[in-house]
Structure 1
Amino acid sequence: MLYKRRNKSASSSTGLLRTSISLLLGSSLVNAGLPQLNLDDDNSIKSVASRVAYDMMTYYTGNRTGDVPGNLPQPYYWWEAGAMMGTLIDYYYYTGDGSYNDLVVQGMLHQMGPNKDFMTPNQTKTTGNDDQGFWGMAAMSAAEQKFPDPPGTDNPGWLELAQAVFNTQAYRWDEQYCGGGLRWQVFTFNNGYDYKNTISNGCFFNIASRLAVYTNNQTYADWANKVYDWTAASGFMTPDYHFYDGAHTTLNCSDINKVQWSYNVGVYLLGAANMYNYTNGNDTWKSRVLGMLNGTNLFFYPPDNTVMYEVACEGHGTCNTDNYSFKAYLSRWLAASTKYAPFMRDLVMPKLRASAQAAVSQCTGGDSGTKCGMIWTGNGKYDGSQGVGQQMGVLEIVQGNLIDGSADPATNKSGGTSKGNPGAGGDGSGGNNPILAQDTIKTSDRAGAGILTTIVLLWVIGGLWWMMI
C-alpha cells in the first residue's frame, strides 16, 4: 500500500500579481500535437519547450486578482508550486526566454515567509520538510543559473534563501528516533509527523551538497556526508542504490515502505554529482554516482530502458496529482548532474533524447490539441490526463536536451552574483531566531568577537576599580 500524502487545504491568503504572459501562437493551435521536435536543432527544442511552458502556465492562477502569487489552485499542493517555479527557472536557463521571469520573482518572494526561509504562515497546516525543500532547491537553481536577482536592497538573494532553508532543516535534524534524519512534517500537529521519508532527507542532502560547491564551505559538505551516511544506514537506500519511501518513528524506522519513486533517486543523484565535483573527482563519490545512475534504470521502460516511466503507478493506473510530476524532477536532475560529473554525459543523453521524443509525441490533448499526458510509453497515444505535473515532466525532459550548450553552473568563484547570508533563516519551527553552524563563522569574525569581548571586559573591570577608588 502506498503511503498517501496528507490532505492539504487551499491557501486563504489574498494577493495580486500583475504579470502578462504573452506568446505568439502558430499553426500548432490548429493542428493536433506540438511542433516537430528535432533534437539536433536548438531552435526546434526551444520552440517545443515554449509551447509546453505556455500550456503549463494555463493552470496557474496567481496572476488573477485576489489570488495568491506563487501558489497553484486545488488540487495542487504548495510544494508543487515551488517545483513549478524551479521548472520556469530552468526554462530561462535553457532557452533564454524571460517571459515568465517577473512571475517567478514575484511568486518566490511572496512565498518566502517572514523569516525568508519558505516557512510561509498560511501553509503551516501543510508544511513538510520536502515542501520547503522544493522551494529551497528552486532558489538554489536560481543562484547557480544566474537567474535575475530580486529587485531592491531589502530582498534576499537566491543564495540567501537556499541557505535559510538549509539552516532551518539542520536545526530539525532528529537523532532521538531512527538515529537521525528529518521527519516528513515540520509541525507535530500535522499528519505524517511520525514519518521519516527519503524525499525530505534527499532535498536536504541536495541543497547541502550544492551549497558546498557554490560557497566552497566545508560545513555544507559535512552535512551532506552526514545525511548520505544516515540514508544508507537507515535502509532507505539499499547497497545497489534503490531508494525506498520511508518509515515511522514510532517503530524506530523498522517498517520501511519499499515503494520506489523516480524523484528519490534523482534528488540524491544530483547531490552525489555535486559531492563528486566538490571532492575533485573522489573515487568513492564517482562510484556512488554511477551506482545511482544505474539505479535509475528502474524508471526507464524495458527492454531498451530509454523511455522514462513511473514504475510504481503508471502500469497500475494509480498515479495521483503528486505522482504526475515526479518524472519532471528525475529529468531535471539527470540533465543537471552531467555538469557536475561530466563522465555521466554519454550515459544520460541517449535517455534524455529518447524520452523527449516519446514525451512530445503524446502531447495531443485538451482543447488546444497540445496538452500533454503522463504516459510516454504508449507510442504517441495520449492517455487522457492533463495538468501541471504532466506539463512539467515534458518541459523538463525536452529542455534538458539543451544542457550541452548551456552555461556551467555559477559559484562564488566562477561568476556567481547571488547575495548570500550563512546565518539566514529561522529556528526550524518558524521562529525568528536563526541557527548558524559554528563552522560557517569566519576566523576573522571569531577574532573580532574575541577582541570586542576583551574590550567590554576591561571596561567593566575598569569601572569596578574606579568605583572602589
Structure 2
Amino acid sequence: MRIPSTSRSEPRLGAGGILAALLLTLNRFTSAYQLDPNSTSSIKSIAKSIAKDMVGMYHGDEPGQTPGLLPDPYYWWYAGAFMGTLVDYWAYTGDSQYVEITKQALLFQVGDHDDYMPINQTRTEGNDDQGFWGLTVMSAAEYNFPHPAEDQPQWLGLAQAVFNTQAARWDTEHCNGGLRWQIFQWNRGYDYKNSISQACFFALGARLALFTGNSSYADWADRTWDWMEAVEFIDPKSWYVYDGAHIGNNCTKLVPYQFSYNAGGMILGAAAMYNFTESQVWKDRLDNLLVGAKVFFSGPEKNIMTEVACEPVKLCNLDQKSFKAYLSRWLAVTTQWAPHTRDTIMPLLRASAVAATDKCTGGDNNRMCSLYWTKDKFEGEVTIGQQMAALEVTLACMIQDRPAPLTKDTGGTSKANPGGGAEDVGRTTPDLDYKPLPAGDKAGAAIITILILAGLLAGMFWIFFDETSDSGPVDQFRSFGSSAAAVVAALAAGGGAAAVLGHKKDKKDINEKNAAVFATSSNGSSQENTNSLVTNDAPAGVTNQSQGQHRRVSSMPLGWPQNPAMRGSTLYDSDGIYPASASARQSRGDWAVGGIGESSSAAGSSAGGNRSYTQQENATGDTTPGTEEPGLSHDTNSKSAAHTAEVGVSQREAPGAIGVAQ
C-alpha cells in the first residue's frame, strides 16, 4: 500500500489513514498466531503453518540430497527426532502431505542390517542417537503410520532391532550397569553414561512390552530404572533427573545439570510401565517424576516450559533448542497411558502452547518461532528445533481428541521382527563390506606402487649423492650401505621404544559429536569444550609433550656415511667459502663441526651461537657425541601442560553444556 504524499497537490492523510499505516507498521511486531488451545480448528490451522515452515528447512527429499538428513550443522539424531515430529503431526491432524517424505527418510537411514546403524554415521552415532530413531518408528507402529512395502523393514521390527542391539551393550563392567553414551570407542563420550541413553532404552522397552505383551521387554525396563536409582541419576528426594556421570569414578560424581528431555524420557517410560503393569509402584514413580519435572516450568504462574539449564543464561546450543519438543510430546502421551495425570499436565501444556505460538514472529516471514517462551517477543535465531518445539506443544493441546497409542491387541498392525538387529549385536566396530577389486584396478595399483617406490629410491640416491666428492657415483653408492644400516637400526630402536611406551599406557577413549559436552571429568575420561566434531583414536594418556628426545650430534642427515673424506668435503667457512680451512675455523673458535683429524679444544660456543651441540673427532676420523653448550635451553613442548590445565576446568563452569546428544 502506498502512503499518499503530503505535498500540496495531494490531500493529507486523515485520522483513518494514519491509523491504518500505524497498524501496518506495528503488524511486524505483533503475534503471527493467536492460539485458542481449546479449539481444534485453531490448533490445526496454526500447526499446519508451523509445520510448513519447519519442513521448509528440510531438503533431504530434493534431487542430489540425502533422505533423512538435515542440513549442517544438525546432527543425525536431530533428523530422527524431526521425523518423529512429522509422525506426530500426521497422527494428530490427519494431514498426509508429509507422509511420503517421512517414510522415505525413515527407511533410507535404517542401515545395512535394518537397525539404524548406518555405516556413514559411525563417527557421530551414540546410543541416544540410535534411540531417537527407534522411538520414532515405535510411534509409527503405535499410530499405524502408513506401512512400508512388504519387501521393506516394518516399523515395529525396526524398533525391536534397535532395542536388541542396545540390550547387548548393557555394560556391567563399569558402574555395574547402564549404557554408555557412545557405541564406538573412538567417539567422544565413550567413557560417559548419560541419562538420555538410558531414558530412550527404558522408554522403548516399556513401549515394546505394552505393544507386544512380551514381559521380557518390561524386565529390561525394570532393570534400567533400578540402575538409574542405584547410581542416583534420579534424585531420591527431589526426583530430578541429572545428566549422567563418567565411568572413571564409577559413576559416583554426577553431572548435575537438568535437561527437559532426560526427565521427559523417564516420564514416558514410567507411564508405559504403569499402563502395562497397573501397579501402584509405577504410579508412584510416575507421579514423583512429574513433581520433579515442575522445575522446567517458569513464568509468573510457573506454567511456561523453559529449558532451565541454558535459557536463563542464553547458552542453549543447537541441540538444546529442540529439547522442549520431546518433553511436550512425551507429556501429552503420558496423559493417555495414565489418565490421572491429565489435570496436572494439560494446564502446563496449554499455557506453554499459547506462550510459544505468541512468540512466532521471527524470520523473514515474521512467523518463525522463538526459543524463549517467557519473553515478550521473539529473541535469538531461527532453528529447526524451535519450530519442532512449538509444533509439538501446539499439537499436544488436542491430545484428548486422539485415541491412545495402539497395541497388537487394540488394532496395531505393524509387523514384528523379534530377532532384528542380530547382525549388529555386540558389534564395537562398523560392519564394513568392501567389494573385491577388479583385475584392472589391481594392475593399476601395482603399477602406481612400483612408480612411487622407484621415485622414492631415486630421490634418496639424489639426496645422499655428493657432487663435490672425488668418489664416483658407484663408490658413493657402495658407501651408502653403512648409512642404510644406520637408518634401519635407528628406525628399529625408535619402533621398539614406541612399543614399550605404548604398552605402558592405559587405553583412553576419547569421545563424540555434540561437543560442548565436557568441561571436566574424572580420571580416565576425556573431555572436550567445543562444538566441533572430533575423532581421536589415540591411546589414552598420550599427550602433546614429548616423552623422550633424540638429539642429533651434527647437522648432517641421519645415517650420513661415516667417511672422513665425504664428511670433510662439506665444511664451509662462515663466509660461504669452500672448503673452510682449519686455521680459519681455529681463529674463530668455530669447532662445532670438527675437520679431518682435528679435535676441539673446548666446548665453546660456535660462531653465531646457533649450534647447541659440538662434535669431536679423534685421529681416526670417528666422531664422539657432542656436549650440549651451556646457556642453551631445551626445546620443550608446553602445549600439553596447557591442554592438561584446560581439561581440568570444572564442569560446573559450563552451565547447559553437559551431556548433550549430537
Q: TM-score range by the shorter chain?
A: 0.7 to 0.9
Counterpart of 2:295?
Answer: 298
The 8 Å contact of residues 35 and 47 in structure 1, kept in 2 or not, is answered as: no
The 8 Å contact of residues 372 and 385 in structure 1, kept in 2 or not, is answered as: no
Counterpart of 2:399?
Answer: 403
| CA distance in 2: counterparts of 1:200 and 1:388, whole angstroms | 22
The 8 Å contact of residues 299 and 374 in structure 2, kept in 1 or not, is answered as: no
Pairwise CA distance, 1:210: 0.3
The 8 Å contact of residues 85 and 104 in structure 1, kept in 2 or not, is answered as: yes
RMSD after superposition:
1.4
User: What are the within-5 Å matches in structure 2 for residues 389-468 of structure 1?
Assistant: 389-425=385-421, 426-429=424-427
Q: Secondary structure at the match of 2:254?
A: coil
Kindly provide the CA deviation profile for residues 370-401 of structure 1, in whole angstroms up to 9, marking residues without a partner as x. Answer: 1011000013x101321110000000000011
Q: 2:181 aligns with which of 164, 180, 184?
A: 184
Counterpart of 1:90?
Answer: 88
Pairwise CA distance, 1:175: 0.2
Greater CA deviation, 391-400 or 65-74?
A: 65-74
Percent sequence identity is 51
Kindly provide the CA deviation profile for residues 210-258 of structure 1, in whole angstroms up to 9, marking residues without a partner as x. Answer: 0010001010000000000000101111113111111111221122100
| CA distance in 2: counterparts of 1:93 and 1:121, whole angstroms | 31
| CA distance in 2: counterparts of 1:221 and 1:231, whole angstroms | 15
Pairwise CA distance, 1:303: 4.4
Higher relative contact order (CA 8 A, sep 6+): 1
Counterpart of 2:383?
Answer: 387
Pairwise CA distance, 1:344: 0.4
Counterpart of 1:196?
Answer: 193
Counterpart of 1:52?
Answer: 50
Counterpart amino acid of residue 114 in structure 1: D
The 8 Å contact of residues 57 and 384 in structure 2, kept in 1 or not, is answered as: yes
| CA distance in 2: counterparts of 1:91 and 1:64, whole angstroms | 21
| CA distance in 2: counterparts of 1:37 and 1:191, whole angstroms | 42
Kindly provide the CA deviation profile for residues 254-289 of structure 1, in whole angstroms up to 9, marking residues without a partner as x. Answer: 221000000000000010000000012x11111111
Counterpart of 2:511?
Answer: none
The 8 Å contact of residues 228 and 234 in structure 2, kept in 1 or not, is answered as: yes
Whose radius of gyration is greater, 1 or 2? 2
The 8 Å contact of residues 33 and 358 in structure 2, kept in 1 or not, is answered as: no
Q: Secondary structure at the match of 2:255?
A: coil
Give unpaired runs (5+ residues) of structure 1.
1-26, 433-469
User: Structure 1: which 4+ aligned runs deviate by more than 2 Å?
Assistant: 30-36, 428-432
| CA distance in 1: counterparts of 2:268 and 2:61, whole angstroms | 32
Counterpart of 2:449?
Answer: none
Counterpart of 1:159?
Answer: 156
| CA distance in 1: counterparts of 2:404 and 2:189, whole angstroms | 38
TM-score by length of 1: 0.84
| CA distance in 2: counterparts of 1:321 and 1:203, whole angstroms | 20
Q: Secondary structure at the match of 1:247?
A: strand
| CA distance in 2: counterparts of 1:428 and 1:335, whole angstroms | 35
Pairwise CA distance, 1:73: 1.0
TM-score by length of 2: 0.60
Q: Report the number of matched residues.
A: 401
Pairwise CA distance, 1:431: 7.0
Greater CA deviation, 405-414 or 132-141?
A: 405-414
| CA distance in 2: counterparts of 1:389 and 1:213, whole angstroms | 29
Q: 1:212 aligns with which of 194, 209, 212?
A: 209
| CA distance in 2: counterparts of 1:428 and 1:361, whole angstroms | 48
Counterpart of 1:271?
Answer: 269
Give unpaired runs (5+ residues) of structure 2.
1-23, 432-662
| CA distance in 2: counterparts of 1:325 and 1:33, whole angstroms | 21
The 8 Å contact of residues 269 and 292 in structure 1, kept in 2 or not, is answered as: yes
The 8 Å contact of residues 34 and 51 in structure 1, kept in 2 or not, is answered as: no
The 8 Å contact of residues 276 and 285 in structure 1, kept in 2 or not, is answered as: yes
| CA distance in 2: counterparts of 1:190 and 1:314, whole angstroms | 28
Pairwise CA distance, 1:33: 4.0
Pairwise CA distance, 1:154: 1.4
Q: Secondary structure at the match of 1:414?
A: coil
Q: Secondary structure at the match of 2:304?
A: coil
